[in-house]
Chain A
């Protein structure tokens, strides 16, 4: 009780200094949390990917296609449970800046293979029945105010022309990490149109989605599929969805590394600021600590008071910082949802915030404690007398 009172009162003796330090820690923890959330958002696709889904694409590059005829051959490979296929549609709604990912896909298989996309059964049925039907993520639907039954026109960037769709389903993510911005429609709709307008582009897919019965089977199945098409006109590369997603991110890996680094630098800087505050504070109070030692208080008492004070300041700053991270992440995520479809403050980020706050408190107190504990009483008293 007594100790708590002393360290709380001590913490607020220099109101301005403490306020500024608390503010500094608040900003540092907020920045740290936001940067880590950005990194998390970067990997959200990877997190959400399943280890029992494989992606078979053209060995040359993603921009090359595969013949739809591969489907049956892939289906024959032992260990394969389902084969779907998709095309990147790259549709634009009114304006380029209204970006969201859009795919033409073989709907029945896709729905089975992506259980994390939650679509009510009646909507699913309506979607299957409707040739121009589309399913869209909750976030994108809310963003443009789309309701079930609405007709939506997208401009094709890869497949020229205006494409009409009827919204038949709105999906929610089963997890927080599920991307709720995607837009799907029937691959057949795209293909039938292509047969009329650009027959040489018809009957091709961007990639096959291959379901395997267990994650252990993934490696063998991948090898088997790729062997099937070796020396054919379109050789394939099959990898897990995770690896597929990571190959996207690896292009931007350097940025992620820099963001991580900056997040730690922010903490190191605030450690220095806080250490300076504590050093000043303890220097001013060295006489008081000498008096306490005179009265018989030991290193543990005095060290405890200084550590405690440092902890109080860091805890208040961290609490504010953590508290602000949520609204800040929401605002940030909302305004950049086209780049970061999933922008959530992970629980692990909060733990990291707390650990960072604790580290700041401990590091800042180390030297002052050492000084206060080591100083000889007679010298300490001399400073006041």
Chain B
């Protein structure tokens, strides 16, 4: 990978702590790094090391104590709650460990959901959702409810929902954590294709070395400190 790619995420001196009663628990301690556009980055580290917290900060669903986080040139630490929500709607695609689809909506409606916040017409929404579901190979399951789908299929719907708004970055927190090996493989292949074929930037938190193996870069977080950069040579 060449290094002349533009930087899409810029993290500078980010600190984050939680308050537990009177105690202040530091979670992230002076994090600084860049993510170039089109990167597939894996964040690894022991449980409780602050991976999810860091991912949430980058995705704009949590606030840092100090430091700057620029995504696509916008310093999201300066945005208000409302502006941040609008920013997320167009700039971030989310993939969760437990898929987090709306159980009362069909696969199609789940994918259409984030488009309701855009100015798209009904027809445009329909087209976008159909395209996204086709991309995850679920065109034959559009009218199924999440409870009628397997874990792997649900996660594919979630990926379709994440990409349907064509966001600046995709964030995934343990996307294969709840899946069997085969489904996990499918999901990882799908994410890899998104990076290679569409040029998406993905930041993925994972425990799974197999998942991390698909990434271009693995960063290790230990007790809130980013301590080594490992470039994976080859998928395992």
Interface residues of A (CB under 8 A from B): 2, 5-6, 9-10, 13, 287-288, 291-298, 376-378, 381, 384-385
Contact = CB atoms under 8 A, between A and B. Distances in A.
Nearest to B161: A295
B100 to A, nearest CB: 5
A297 B85 contact: yes
A9 B82 CA distance: 28
A9 B104 contact: yes
B142 interface: no
B94 A385 contact: no
B18 to A, nearest CB: 10
Contact of B97 (A294, A298, A385): A385
From B112, B113, B173, residue with most partner A Cβ within 10 Å: B113
A295 B96 contact: no
A294 B117 CA distance: 12
Given A292-B113, A378-B62, 7 more contacts: A6-B102, A291-B96, A296-B85, A296-B114, A384-B100, A385-B97, A385-B173
Contacts of B25: none
A293 B89 CA distance: 9
B125 to A, nearest CB: 10
Given A288-B102, A291-B102, A378-B62, A297 B96 contact: no
Contact of B114 (A13, A295, A378): A295
Contact of A376 (B59, B62, B116, B174): B62
Given A10-B104, A377-B62, A384 B114 contact: no
Contacts of B53: 378
Contact of A287 (B62, B85, B94, B100): B100
Contact of B85 (A10, A291, A298): A298
B69 to A, nearest CB: 15
Nearest to B56: A378
A377 to B, nearest CB: 4
Interface string B35-68: 0000000000000000011001001011000000
A296 B86 contact: yes
Contacts, number: 70
B117 A295 contact: yes
Given A294-B88, A295-B89, A295-B114, A381 B96 contact: yes
B96 A385 contact: yes
A25 B109 CA distance: 32
From A292, A294, A377, residue with most partner B Cβ within 10 Å: A294
From A5, A295, A297, residue with most partner B Cβ within 10 Å: A295
Nearest to A12: B104
Nearest to A379: B62
Contacts of B88: 294-296
- For the residues of B in contact with A, the DSSP-based class is helix
Contacts of B104: 5-6, 9-10, 13
Interface string B72-90: 0000000000100111111
A294 B61 contact: yes
Contacts of A298: 82, 85
A297 B102 CA distance: 13
B105 interface: yes
Contact of A378 (B61, B86, B105): B61
A385 B98 contact: yes
B94 A294 contact: yes
Nearest to A291: B100
A61 to B, nearest CB: 69
Interface string B162-175: 00000000000110
23 contacts: A2-B112, A2-B116, A13-B104, A291-B102, A292-B113, A294-B59, A295-B88, A295-B94, A295-B113, A295-B117, A296-B87, A296-B89, A296-B90, A296-B117, A297-B117, A298-B82, A298-B85, A378-B56, A381-B96, A381-B100, A384-B100, A385-B97, A385-B174
A269 B67 CA distance: 51
A13 B102 CA distance: 12
Contacts of B89: 295-297
A385 B47 CA distance: 13
A9 B104 CA distance: 6
Contacts of B61: 293-294, 377-378, 381
Contacts of A9: 104
A332 to B, nearest CB: 41
Interface in B193-222: none
A160 B4 CA distance: 118
Contacts of A377: 56, 61-62
A377 B109 CA distance: 22
A284 to B, nearest CB: 11
A2 B85 CA distance: 20
Contacts of B82: 298
A157 B197 CA distance: 102
Contacts of A6: 102, 104-105
Contacts of B109: 2, 5
B157 to A, nearest CB: 13
From B86, B90, B102, residue with most partner A Cβ within 10 Å: B102
